[in-house]
Chain A
């Protein structure tokens, strides 16, 4: 069973000619089939955790370990991490001029699966996945994220999640900027992948709204660069009622 183990992760970032520590010792274990919600106020380091795991060059790991099935993730390049089974659905997906969605998806699937998917079954697979996400077939001929609305970008991220079938999916504020309909469609996509039982999900969010559609097994409150509290789904209800105030204060003094 695939397991992602994060141990005492410290991460810094260079800003304004100074080195700032954003993650201050994160411990977390995500197993295949589990869904963990990471909730926290803005600036608590949630997205830093997501991008550090994916290997974004902006972030420097100063100490700690990240293992995926015992393999050292931090030693891997960005593309190696993806091929090892890590997937990051980005909060702000990037426009890639000149590359069509269909070409991008196929190149990506070829890289992740280790061989080019057979054309006929692939076309069907993509078409069906797009239909489930209420995406227009013409979408496949557009350039990656170019001119996409916020909702289209997020659907496109979840489309990739469905097609690439990672071991661990990190969803970075996938709910932000979505209206209720789009949120439902996107959540259904995530749930289809979760229901296979083959993916461990790290759901990063600022709001509790998405948790009505995607039920987490565990909820972690992220504050001051580490996990401040962990609990069951009931912890989300507490946050809904009380907000992050208690943690923000605690985080600042830590």
Chain B
């Protein structure tokens, strides 16, 4: 088995780009996973998992000073018939099954939530309409836990929509039974001041398919930690992400695919556009192929498009392979810059400036948007991207 190709990231005059570090997935975290916030020291910012994050803007989620307020977020679940929606206490057996908090904020969320929301799709139930979960920030602090559970051979699409203003730390668990198919679209369309830190844990059953689409537009700080592991052979995970980072925003996506089971697949594609001063996007893509995970097929890619000066991207793909008996493994990361020369070139062909920018950004995202496969979400994303662009031209 040949070494996976590692395409070095491109350079840009707009900011700096970190090339894949030598650290490994196993050594990346400064403390072992735990459900108890007390097991994690308060981060000081130099730890590997916190070094890109502006701790001072987390509004106390990381050091215990953030306390839940009555009016944190309002959660509204709309589910088609046949779906069970409930609120459960800490004794529910499904809690924590998909994964354990890996950093202090996730553990804080786990230690502080009062009731967990559970949405279950019974086995062999195939939904034709999406389940919609609206999480609306009411200006307060909240800690949440949400479980989405699909029985064997169930199929569902879930759209989780985050809007409004809040300081939110949460864990979201996806439990996929054997042969189940789940598509989750998580849209972070927060107001400017919101802070959102969340860990997503997917446990993919035997022959099950998990598709995650993470879309981040809003917020002051958004730091998401989508993680996947497999409960049986034949599982597939597709993790797509799209972000549009504006002036002053910090948007961080840290992924881990843990190939802990033989003959599973994963495909990760995250794309982001950045514009404006102090726009900061961070992408960490960790893939671990454990010694027992023979027959693994994995690929991960991150692409960034820097539209203006003053934006910064840190992109760190990291692939750790403990067995050579695999089908394929690779990763790629590249950051390109839309600059005055590109603008001149397009305009010299008669294309007006606004149209030129739109052309580049739409082209950049188009392929990814088409992968989502949910029409109203696709249209909304395109519209939202255009809005972001108009704001930049104005």
Q: Interface on A for B, CB 8 Å cutoff? A: 54-57, 77-79, 81-83, 87-88, 90, 93-100, 103-104, 107-108, 111-112, 143-144, 160, 164
B19 interfacial by beta-carbon distance below 8 Å:
no
B355 interfacial by beta-carbon distance below 8 Å:
yes
* Contact indicator A107/B355 (Cβ below 8 Å): yes
Question: 10 closest Cβ contacts across the A-B interface?
Answer: A98-B364, A111-B350, A82-B350, A98-B363, A108-B349, A78-B347, A94-B345, A97-B336, A79-B347, A112-B350
How many chain B residues sit at the interface, stated as a range, is 20 to 34
* Contact indicator B338/A160 (Cβ below 8 Å): no
Contacting residue for A97 out of B305, B341, B350, CB 8 A: B305
Interchain nearest-CB distance for A29 vs B (Å): 22
Secondary structure at the A interface, as helix, strand, loop or mixed, is mixed
Most chain B CB inside 10 Å of its own CB: which residue of A93, A95, A144:
A144
User: In chain B, what residue has the closest Cβ to A145?
Assistant: B345
* Contact indicator B351/A95 (Cβ below 8 Å): no
Secondary structure at the B interface, as helix, strand, loop or mixed, is helix
Give the CA-CA distance A171 to B346 in the complex, in Å.
17
Known interface pairs A90-B345, A95-B342, A96-B345; A164-B350 also in contact (CB < 8 Å):
yes
User: In chain B, what residue has the closest Cβ to A56?
Assistant: B344
- Contact flags B344-374 to A (C-beta < 8 A → 1, else 0): 1111111111010001110111000000000
Q: Which residues of A contact B350 (CB under 8 A)?
A: 79, 82-83, 108, 111-112, 164
Q: Which residues of B contact A57 (CB under 8 A)?
A: 340, 344
Q: Which residues of A contact B355 (CB under 8 A)?
A: 107, 111
* Contact indicator A78/B360 (Cβ below 8 Å): no
16 interchain pairs, CB-CB under 8 A: A55-B347, A55-B348, A79-B353, A81-B348, A82-B348, A90-B348, A94-B345, A96-B342, A96-B345, A97-B338, A98-B305, A99-B346, A99-B360, A99-B363, A111-B351, A143-B363
Give the CA-CA distance A57 to B353 in the complex, in Å.
13
Known pairs A55-B347, A83-B350, A90-B348 / 7 extra A-B pairs, C-beta < 8 Å: A55-B348, A77-B347, A79-B347, A82-B349, A96-B342, A98-B363, A111-B352
